[in-house]
């Protein structure tokens, strides 16, 4: 699924990464706990989180996450978007809850980190 399709499906705002919308996502994980993200196989995944802090972006960069979606319309501060730019990590904000966001993308065919649906 392309990032552009994810943006459409989640009615998301693009906070950063307009030029990366052709990138493909197969696996998706959802967590507010960065400690959890760091112990999972997260290379190339989409991360859904309610943690709109600079640590979410830095964790994503360290863990090889391809793009981050902030749920419940959480809008991060300017320093968070700057960190995403520095790391080249697309950032989106969706008005939907974590549950509904995950449900929408699951219905489109995205899998969990272990490849299961």
Binding residues for other proteins (CB under 8 A):
32-39, 43, 49, 51, 53-56, 58-59, 61-64, 79, 86-87
Task: Pick between residue 59 and residue 101 the one whose CB is nearest to other proteins.
Answer: 59
Residue 31: CB minimum distance to other proteins, A: 8
| Buried-state track 9-39, b at ≥16 Cβ within 10 A, e below 16 | bbebeebbbeebbebebebbbbbeebeebee
For residues 3 and 63, which CB has a smaller minimum distance to other proteins in the complex?
Answer: 63
Q: Taking the complex as a whole, how short is the minimal distance between the CB of residue 9 and other proteins, in angstroms?
A: 25
Please answer whether residues 92 and 68 qualify as being in contact, where contact means their C-beta atoms are separated by less than 8 angstroms.
yes
């Amino acid at each position: 699924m392309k990032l552009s399709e994810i943006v459409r499906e989640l009615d998301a705002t693009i906070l950063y990464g307009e030029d990366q919308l052709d990138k493909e996502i197969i696996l998706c994980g959802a967590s507010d706990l960065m400690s959890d993200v760091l112990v999972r196989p997260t290379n190339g995944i989409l991360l859904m989180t309610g943690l709109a802090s600079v640590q979410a972006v830095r964790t994503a960069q360290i863990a090889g996450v391809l793009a981050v979606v902030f749920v419940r319309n959480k809008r991060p501060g300017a320093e968070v978007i700057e960190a995403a730019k520095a790391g080249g990590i697309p950032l989106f904000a969706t008005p939907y809850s974590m549950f509904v966001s995950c449900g929408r993308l699951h219905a489109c065919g995205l899998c969990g980190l272990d490849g299961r649906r």
